[in-house]
Amino acid sequence: MAVMNLAVLLLAASVCFCSRHKSEKVPKLVNSQYGSLWPLPQSAQISVTAFQLSRSGFQIVHAPKSSAGPRCYLLGEAFRRYFEYIFGYSKRQNKDRKQSGAGAEVSELQVLITSSAPQCDGYPSVSSDESYQLTVDQPTAVLTAPEVWGALRGLETFSQLVYKDEYGTLHINRSEIKDFPRFNHRGILMDSSRHFLPLKVILANLDAMAMNKYNVFHWHIVDDQSFPYQSPLFPELSKKGSYHPYTHVYTPTDVKMVIEFARMRGIRVISEFDTPGHTQSWGLGQKGLLTPCYSGEKPSGTFGPVNPILNSTYDFMTQFFKEVSSVFPEAYIHLGGDEVDFSCWKSNPDIQKFMEQQGFGSDYSKLESYYIQRILDIVTGTRKGYMVWQEVFDNGVKLKPDTVVEVWMGNTLEEELQKVTSAGYTTILSAPWYLDYISYGQDWQKYYKVEPLTFNGTDTQKKLVIGGEACLWGEFVDATNLTPRLWPRASAVAERLWSDKDVRDIDDAYSRLSQHRCRMVQRGIPAEPLFVGHCDYEYGGL
Amino acid sequence: MAMFKNRDPSWNAPEVSQSFLGDVLQLSCAALFLLAIVVPPAQGVWPLPQNLTSSAERYSLSPREFNFLYDKGSAVQPGCTILDTAFKRYFRIAFSGYSGGKPLTGNEKSGCVSPGGSSCGSAPLRALVVNVQKGGCDGFPDLNSKEDYKLSIADGLGSLSAVSVWGALRGLETFSQLVYQDQEVTYYINKTDVVDFPRFAHRGLLLDTSRHYLPVRSILETLDAMAYNKFNVFHWHIVDDPSFPYQSPTFPNLSSKGAFHPQTHIYTMTDIKRVIEHARLWGIRVIPEFDTPGHTESWGKGQPGLLTTCYKGSVPSGTFGPVNPMLNTSYQFMSKLFDEISSVFPDSYLHLGGDEVSFTCWKSNPDIQQFMKKMGFGTNYRKLESFYIENLVKIVTALNKNSIVWQEVFDNAVKVPADTVVHVWKGSKKQYSQEMSSVTAGGFKVLLSAPWYLNAIRYGQDWKNAYKVEPLGFNGTAEQKKLVMGGEACMWGEYVDATNLTPRLWPRAGAVGERLWSDEAQTSNVDTAYNRLAEFRCRLLRRGIRAQPLFVGYCDHEYEGI
């Protein structure tokens, strides 16, 4: 969809801006019964009874019966973070503020983890339980969740229920919320190869992801343009392949920090090491890895995809992926496998000979499959699962049953989902959510209106769609513009992936999302505006 | 996934036909800096000077020794506010990265870091001596300000001469862009001669503070970046339908009722003075726009009776339309308000708007209908619009100000003084070219904005479209073309606030900056422009401007905020 429509959209955009202030249909701001909740919980009952909260008279604590306690640092940090989110902007509130006559107060949020294995020190996974229940009453509100992952989501919801009245007093209404995600895999792809993304930007966006209940950071860490991942085993890769070997790399410490920061927010970090295409930068630090291209009978001096006919290639990949699988605790690695250009392989006489030997004829997709198959076997040997871009499936490579196929081609989205799921593979979709494709106006609506399960298929097939990802490819994006370009546009995708499929009212969404974006701004995230209007606290961090 | 090679439909430049790392690296600024050691780095100046020659001979600059000096024969001397502050500013900019460290070692002093050889042994550049022919440091720039300058770096001597301080400011900017760092250690400048002047006198940027409020800090930062791009007009679209942030001493209710918030989302007199002074120090004019009679919803909140009451059938509908053009009170109000505005804003031009007036409300109102009859306008509401605008222009003329209006005012054949400037904003290339033709054939001066609506974003390198515009490409005589004063890049505010303004503006507006400053023939190639602009974008980052990337690549010093 994204690819096909793009041409049309661009055409339309180039025709005219007939009116200076032309814009797409602007939704109505309504007074949503759900306030500023985003993404909308599966079930929320919010009464009109409001209680007060005060900085000095409120705390977030472990419930006495919780299986998590003071040693659950993940929750301890989250309590502090959400306390700051709630009160950070009202520091001058009078501590001695008298309770008004009717002003009942919520003085405590108790967090109750019910599972005997609360997961305080674990890593989130595709099967993590993110469900929670939240009861807001006075004097005590209770957040119940089987695992800490649900508690994190519930804390975000609690913080979104708090609002300020005209006098600066904080309130929260009596509420009953039961919530769980519609899809388990809700990801954001950031690309640190086309442009290097300083750590600070990545961390800030992990914060923003948590505010939107995202749970996967798909780290497209290397590609043709640069190789910023510093490999302890193969230090030459980043030394030669990064934009700069000191200022434009991710050291092992950096990577650890990202992983831990994400874990604390219930976010998985899935690294992508895309091969055999998209690997120009690999070749700079690993001689002999890429295929030498030929011009006539002589090497042209340029290189193509990874050389699939050499044992040395597979030796290298074995060691490299062994390292990657220990650096990234996440159970899945993304192996890429997209957009392999065959022209270089075709030009190379050794490759031609190999093709003959293998009986591939002139079908280079067989060579590609041959390569991928061996890489998959290597990764299987590290006891990791893998994700791949759709071409790998399309080319008929034999995949493990737990493989996740990522569908990114828009023009064949529905058929592809149908095929992948009927073959029994789990899948995620990113085709409709290429957020790097910008256009004028309220494009968040387009992302919001996507329904992932409209393809023809049985219920069993539909269950194999485990989620989706918003992709922000880096050709035109770096630290200067990433955050405002991502938010709140990615928030639209977040609600589609978390909330019930019937949550589709654009006016209601617009009203909640406008407030949600102001909340992100207030929390220090430069989320861009949806349309004309203002926030009480405008972005101050220029 | 990435579709790297064919993902950018807007772009067919040679860079993309190869996806080699090496090629990509060449696009990056650091590689250009390295190249600069061999090739004169002066090609990096943005916007491109009219005449620039340089050689590989270079001089080192030491931040511990270097000085900006006034020439003995200069008409302005120490104490000149404009230049004193500019020296301070440009010292910091030229030596960005300098932290006041240790004195230079002998080796570095000799300037023999590069194996190139030719530069070895040349003297350091100890000073840039500035000579301004005409005095005047306390005034404001205007349409006739002389921005010409000559800059010469030779034999270890730097000299900058200009007719006015405004030209000196432009020359200082060029000077600062000629300074580069070798291996992050020594600062250098090559032997260079520049004779430069702007192609167009009016090089503007429009910011819209009504659809979203922009904190003063955002505006000041934009002014800084404008000066780096040699823009000289800040067109402040300060009020519009959604909000009225201008705090008027005469009519305080306008902002207390019409702003998004009466305290936090307004511009006080102090704010406005600060903006005007900051702009002056950079040689930038501030032209405010108070757009009427349409685009005035927010005015009505603080000034009851100003707007036309719309009717539904025979009863008022509760909504309001454009300014009520038939009431004397409307004109009395405008007289007082514009009297205030003309004293607050020193520039001799005011932008009066006059665009997109919707007639439906006027048509619905029985009093207006009667007035139309009385005036003999028939059902031609354009005549009513003209009636209003003519009255307004009279008011403004009486205040000794010149007017700029959006093109509808011309299209509707409003009678306006001959020196009124018409601002062309509508349509395709064909349409705006036609409009430029007609307006200038009518003898009016004209500003072009139609192809430079930078708020209209699209995927890819859309700066190229802005760059390829030829403002004089319309049919017309030489006399007609002289009436083109310049143009403006517009950043309307529907989707823009402090969170995304800066990266959306820069470096895209830089494309317009060069088109309005530089020689057309020398800047006709987008590919060579790409390299300079990519390098310039890294300079902007170094100066703290959150300018977004043109394409893949990197800067030595990336933006470190979020």
Q: In chain A, what residues touch B561 (CB-CB under 8 Å)?
A: 200, 479, 541
B496: number of Cβ within 10 Å: 25
Helices (H), A105-251: 148-161, 199-211, 236-241
DSSP code for B267: B
Q: In chain A, what residues touch B212 (CB-CB under 8 Å)?
A: 529, 532-534
Is the pLDDT at A71 greater than 90, yes or no?
Answer: yes
Bridging pattern class, strands A140-145 and A132-136 = antiparallel
CA atoms of B447 and B439, how far apart (whole Å):
10
Which token pair is B21?
């790392």
CB contact under 8 A, A408 and B8: no
CB contact under 8 A, B24 and A274: no
Which token pair is B444?
């009016």
Nearest by Cα to A416 from A402, A404, A400, A427: A427
- The model's pLDDT over A91-127, given as tens digits with 9 standing for 90+, comes to 444 444 444 445 799 999 999 999 999 999 999 999 9
Bridging pattern class, strands A140-145 and A108-113 = parallel
Q: So what's the pLDDT on residue A281?
A: 98
B262 interfaces chain A, CB cutoff of 8 Å: no
Give the chain A residue nearest B557 (alpha carbons): A247
Which token pair is B333?
């109000």
Q: Tell me the nearest-neighbour CA distance from A376 into chain B, angstroms.
A: 19
B215 interfaces chain A, CB cutoff of 8 Å: yes
- The model's pLDDT over A131-188, given as tens digits with 9 standing for 90+, comes to 999 999 999 999 999 999 999 999 999 999 999 988 889 999 999 999 999 999 999 9
B547 interfaces chain A, CB cutoff of 8 Å: yes
B296 interfaces chain A, CB cutoff of 8 Å: no
- The model's pLDDT over A300-343, given as tens digits with 9 standing for 90+, comes to 999 999 999 999 999 999 999 999 999 999 999 999 999 999 99
Residue with tokens 């030595």, as numbered in its chain: B556
B26 interfaces chain A, CB cutoff of 8 Å: no
Which token pair is B43?
């090609």
**Which parts of chain B register pLDDT below 50?**
1-42, 101-121
Q: So what's the pLDDT on residue B184?
A: 61
Give the chain B residue nearest A530 (alpha carbons): B495
Residue B322 phi/psi, 5° resolution?
A: -65, 175
Overall average pLDDT of the A31-57 stretch: 95
Which secondary-structure segment (H or E) carries A438? none
CB contact under 8 A, A18 and B426: yes
Which token pair is B211?
């659809």
A437-471 exposure pattern, b = at least 16 Cβ within 10 A, e = fewer? bbbbbbbbbbbbebebeebebeeebeebbbbbbbb
B497 interfaces chain A, CB cutoff of 8 Å: yes
Nearest to A526 among B211, B243, B499 (CB): B499
Q: In chain A, what residues touch B543 (CB-CB under 8 Å)?
A: none
B499, B505, B533, B545: best to mutate for the A interface, most A CBs within 10 A: B499
B355 interfaces chain A, CB cutoff of 8 Å: yes
CB contact under 8 A, B460 and A476: yes
Q: In chain A, what residues touch B495 (CB-CB under 8 Å)?
A: 440-441, 528-531
Catalytic one of A84, A339, A356, A538: A339
Q: So what's the pLDDT on residue A102?
A: 55
Q: So what's the pLDDT on residue A89?
A: 56
Pairs across A and B, CB distance < 8 A? 219
CB contact under 8 A, A542 and B546: yes
Give the chain B residue nearest A241 (alpha carbons): B21
* B174-177, Cβ contacts within 8 angstroms, sequence gap of 24 or more: B174/B45, B174/B49, B174/B149, B175/B90, B175/B94, B175/B128, B175/B151, B176/B90, B176/B93, B176/B94, B177/B44, B177/B45, B177/B46, B177/B536, B177/B539
Q: So what's the pLDDT on residue B122?
A: 61
Q: So what's the pLDDT on residue B467?
A: 98
High-pLDDT (> 70) share of chain A, %: 93
Q: Tell me the nearest-neighbour CA distance from B216 into chain A, angstroms.
A: 10
Q: So what's the pLDDT on residue B38?
A: 38
CA atoms of B370 and B375, how far apart (whole Å):
9
Q: In chain A, what residues touch B547 (CB-CB under 8 Å)?
A: 480
- The model's pLDDT over A474-519, given as tens digits with 9 standing for 90+, comes to 999 999 999 999 999 999 999 999 999 999 999 999 999 999 999 9
Q: Quote the mean pLDDT of chain A.
A: 92
CA atoms of A354 and A371, how far apart (whole Å):
12
Q: How confident is the model at residue A25 (pLDDT cuts 50, 70, 90)?
A: confident
User: Could you report the predicted ipTM of this complex, rounded to two decimals?
Assistant: 0.88
A404-421 exposure pattern, b = at least 16 Cβ within 10 A, e = fewer? bbbbbbbebbeebbebbb
A413 near A435, Cβ under 8 Å? Answer: no
Q: So what's the pLDDT on residue B44?
A: 83
More confident call, A17 vs B396: B396
Q: Tell me the nearest-neighbour CA distance from B29 into chain A, angstroms.
A: 11
Q: So what's the pLDDT on residue B100?
A: 53
CB contact under 8 A, A478 and B549: yes
- The model's pLDDT over A388-404, given as tens digits with 9 standing for 90+, comes to 999 999 999 989 899 99
Nearest to A542 among B212, B218, B541 (CB): B218
Q: So what's the pLDDT on residue B41?
A: 45
Give the chain B residue nearest A302 (alpha carbons): B20
CB contact under 8 A, A476 and B497: no
B289 near B283, Cβ under 8 Å? Answer: no
CA atoms of A438 and B10, how far apart (whole Å):
12
Q: Tell me the nearest-neighbour CA distance from A541 into chain B, angstroms.
A: 8
Give the chain B residue nearest A24 (alpha carbons): B494
A15: number of Cβ within 10 Å: 9
Residues 6+ apart with CB under 8 A from A538: A521, B213, B215, B264, B265, B497, B498
Catalytic machinery residues of B: 356
A521 near A537, Cβ under 8 Å? Answer: yes
Q: So what's the pLDDT on residue B462?
A: 96
Overall average pLDDT of the A216-223 stretch: 98
